[in-house]
Structure 1
């Protein structure tokens, strides 16, 4: 009987009732792991269990430039060979790229930074309006209570208020031109390949595809609304081979 080998990485992910990954930030790391063929297993955590679980592992959030503490968050990984725990997608991506450099994934580029900044400002607004309140539909009752309490405290109103049909349409109409412009930036190197920088994926491709996959798991209608703009569908479909492992 062959002994089962321990995977290189244990990844802490956000739980949902579909038992698959739906967090856009976790998807960025999952795409990178899948692309680099790094073996890993997933531990799904409910929203209220993230902080106590990561505290128990000995993790401590860092501080921002202003001195305020970051929150406990997923993705978090345990790199088994070195017994190293890392929290948050940016330092995790940097660790994976330095530890597993082949095949390479350029984490940043001038074009990539422009796309990500504009996507957060433009698509992020519509994304939050349509996706965030619908996340309730794929959370357990415990996680729903936590999610509603924390998000509504930040918003100052009920999550359902975001789903007023007229307001939702107005939000998408307001960003339509900017979404087209961001999509065109994604197509800058389309003559060289399907990805942002051409023939091979970068961290920006995983940022885009991860966000789109998150939308798709939560609400197919929102996903379809986004990929009608040129650029988005091409990046998503180019990354599909690296989305097969999602649990």
Structure 2
């Protein structure tokens, strides 16, 4: 009896390692969801935080420039497209490459509604979300990555990670303070709910993958934060709609 073999990988996806051995980075999840949805065969190489820059440098990855002309930081996601021997870094650039190289099924990279939802999600929810997730993220990292994460994040924030983690009562108050905003953003996600669970209805867009990636990352870091967000229908609808494309997570 013939055995079914997996198709040969066309993509190598460089991902951020954690002790759970599966994807938890929201930025990488956006690309992983797109790869899974388009059924592009790929394999994953997980990198610890301190290994990202030296590994990508050795591979000859060009990090590009920031808007002010300085060199961008080496980061994941990065992909190696094996058929063309092309390396691409950053979720937006990778998404554009995947959509042009593998146009079916279509994944709209942007829309007026999608841009509005992404902007509101970042501006209205981002700070509270970050305050709950960032100091907890260190718990799922290896000792080497913990040291790197603590050193870089504390330098950026100007305080120990432990000081960023609020007491339960204050954290609860912060989430309650944005309840109306969460409901409003969630409802905007349901604009086309008659056609399907996604922002534009029946088919996912890159905005859906952006949102689902953030939610899956939260779930990996702290189930409580994940539950806080997915109690709102719009967020929950998109997450559930994207779940079929989360099966390959390593």
TM-score above 0.5: yes
Alignment of 1:157-236 (within 5 A): 157-165=159-167, 166-236=169-239
Match 1:7 to one of 6, 9, 13: 9
- The CA deviation at 1:51 is 0.3
Give deviations 1:92-150, integer Å, cap 9, x for gaps.
00000000000000010000000001111122112211111111110000000000000
Alignment of 1:122-137 (within 5 A): 122-137=124-139
Structure 1 length normalisation: TM-score?
0.96
The number of equivalent residue pairs is 247
Match of 1:153 in 2: 155
Match of 2:31 in 1: 29
CA contact (8 A) 1:162 1:168 kept: no
Give the gaps of 5 or more residues in structure 1.
none
CA contact (8 A) 2:7 2:41 kept: no
1:231 partner SS: helix
Q: 1:150 to 1:9 in 2, by over 3 A?
A: same
Give deviations 1:29-87, integer Å, cap 9, x for gaps.
00000000000000000000000000011112211222232210000000001110000
Match 1:54 to one of 53, 56, 71: 56
Runs of 4+ in 1 over 2 A off after TM superposition: 1-6
Give deviations 1:186-230, integer Å, cap 9, x for gaps.
001111111100110000000010000000001101000111112
CA contact (8 A) 2:10 2:41 kept: yes
CA contact (8 A) 1:97 1:105 kept: yes
Q: 1:104 to 1:5 in 2, by over 3 A?
A: closer
- State the Cα RMSD in Å: 1.5
Structure 2 length normalisation: TM-score?
0.95
